A and B are shown apart, each in its own frame.
Chain A
Amino acid sequence: GQQVMQIPQYQHVQEGEDFTTYCNSSTTLSNIQWYKQRPGGHPVFLIQLVKSGEVKKQKRLTFQFGEAKKNSSLHITATQTTDVGTYFCAGPRGVEMGGGSNYKLTFGKGTLLTVNP
């Protein structure tokens, strides 16, 4: 079945340094989503990428979707302590049930980012 691999598992940086997490799928994805989960919190949607080669920016965060729609990355410029948390990528996978098609999100294992002030 479809797998979504994410690296690194952990990343510790000094405040002000950059951070990147990478996501790779064994199959082509229709879209990829990124979520952030703060310690003790719940996953919060960050962004969705749909088009091949798409790049989107949110302030210091840059998201990319690969040309083959099998990989993605999240880059944070000049990290801050507020960036601490686990970043998950997730891709939809079709599930055949009862004659119909449904979809579920397959999450990567996540990258835990810690920032030293």
Chain B
Amino acid sequence: DTEVTQTPKHLVMGMTNKKSLKCEQHMGHRAMYWYKQKAKKPPELMFVYSYEKLSINESVPSRFSPECPNSSLLNLHLHALQPEDSALYLCASSQDGQGVETQYFGPGTRLLVL
């Protein structure tokens, strides 16, 4: 099974709302990633978890808060977002985050902030 699942597929939220994005993989991967992708742009890395520890934070604003409850799950908690945060949020996983292995992407959550 090479599938990464993400919920919800679509999300509309106001600037005062709190919501969470969820990601799950059952490939036994030990590295998981959050990316943000704007239209016609490449994925932009936000966070990397390796062995359930945050290993990379690409200076993401604190209104985005990642959480890795276990090696199969990754959450992204959203609070007080801005309209410019509207984008496709992609989760990905890889074997152990050591740079050589490939990344498997989930279908993404399309977020609209009003």
User: Which positions 96-117 of chain A face chain B at CB distance < 8 Å?
Assistant: 97-98, 100, 102-105, 107-110, 112
Q: How many A-B residue pairs have CB under 8 A?
A: 59
Closest residue on chain B to residue A34 by CB atoms: B102
Query: Please, how many angstroms separate the alpha-carbon atoms of A93 and B103 in the complex?
Result: 14
| Contact pick for B45, options A30, A105, A108, A110, CB 8 Å | A105
B97 near A102 (CB under 8 angstroms)? yes
A95 near B42 (CB under 8 angstroms)? no
A42 near B42 (CB under 8 angstroms)? no
User: Which positions 26-45 of chain A face chain B at CB distance < 8 Å?
Assistant: 30-31, 33, 35, 41-45
User: Which positions 75-109 of chain B face chain A at CB distance < 8 Å?
Assistant: 88, 90, 97-100, 102-108
| Contact pick for B40, options A95, A98, A108, A112, CB 8 Å | A112
Query: Please, how many angstroms separate the alpha-carbon atoms of A109 and B38 in the complex?
Result: 12
A43 near B105 (CB under 8 angstroms)? yes
B99 near A97 (CB under 8 angstroms)? no
A109 near B90 (CB under 8 angstroms)? no
B: residues with CB less than 8 A from A are 40-43, 45, 48, 50, 55-56, 58, 88, 90, 97-100, 102-108
In the assembled complex, 13 residue pairs joining A and B whose CB atoms fall closer than 8 Å, in A order, are: A33-B102, A42-B88, A42-B106, A43-B43, A45-B103, A88-B43, A100-B55, A102-B56, A104-B99, A108-B42, A109-B42, A110-B41, A112-B40
The 9 closest A-B pairs by CB, nearest first: A103-B99, A92-B99, A107-B42, A102-B55, A42-B105, A45-B102, A43-B105, A42-B108, A42-B107
